A and B are shown apart, each in its own frame.
Chain A
């Protein structure tokens, strides 16, 4: 059974940093791209960042480019999102999502999400 378990969400001050983690199990982790998708309170879904299975290629939404960094530790089946210089509009539930076998951004499994609140 595929499981994705996010952690690391917290209350953080504007300009601060936070590192989210997503522990994966139930599938061959290195074979799949992983993404972070966020949802601001009462709003829609926004793709944030993706990383290929080998970790060599990463992609970012313009809204987070230069501030967020996605990475993965394939020895620990974990993907990370390092969030720097956070702003109030980064407040959201952050979901970890698994890509389909053939495509990076077709999300067939999602974690339960972790809440990031940016406020002073």
Chain B
């Protein structure tokens, strides 16, 4: 099975900072990579699909990129409402459709 490894597991940054989260797939998954945001006590929300396509309604400060089997979620300017845990997920044709272990983002 393909493993999805996120780093870091948590981070603390100041308001306005640029924040980067990385997700590495253990095998090639093309661009079948999604990012979800889960705010405390809330339901996960789809942010990005296809490694870099923004879901409708998601602020433009969020962006995603791919380099081979390495994927990055970037928040260009951290806002208070971005406090959440972020998960990557592979969603190609073959199960299991694995999530990364999550990255908790806090305000410093």
A interface residues with partner B (beta carbon < 8 Å)? 35, 37, 44-47, 50, 59-62, 95, 100, 103-108, 110-113
Contact = CB atoms under 8 A, between A and B. Distances in A.
The 7 closest A-B pairs by CB, nearest first: A105-B97, A105-B91, A45-B99, A44-B102, A59-B95, A106-B91, A47-B97
A62 B101 CA distance: 18
Contact of B99 (A46, A50, A59): A46
Given A44-B101, A44-B102, A108-B55, A62 B96 contact: yes
A100 B49 contact: yes
Interface residues of B, number: 25
Nearest to B44: A110
B67 to A, nearest CB: 21
Contacts of A59: 95-96
A37 B85 CA distance: 16
B43 A95 contact: yes
Contact of A110 (B43, B97, B99): B43
Contacts, number: 62
B11 to A, nearest CB: 16
Contacts of A60: 95
Given A95-B43, A105-B91, 16 more contacts: A37-B44, A45-B38, A45-B89, A45-B102, A46-B99, A47-B89, A47-B98, A59-B95, A61-B95, A103-B91, A103-B92, A103-B93, A104-B91, A107-B36, A111-B43, A112-B43
B34 interface: yes
Contacts of B89: 45, 47, 105, 107
A45 B44 contact: yes
A47 B96 contact: yes
10 contacts: A45-B102, A47-B98, A50-B95, A50-B97, A103-B93, A105-B95, A106-B91, A107-B44, A108-B46, A110-B43
Nearest to B43: A110
B64 to A, nearest CB: 13
B87 interface: yes
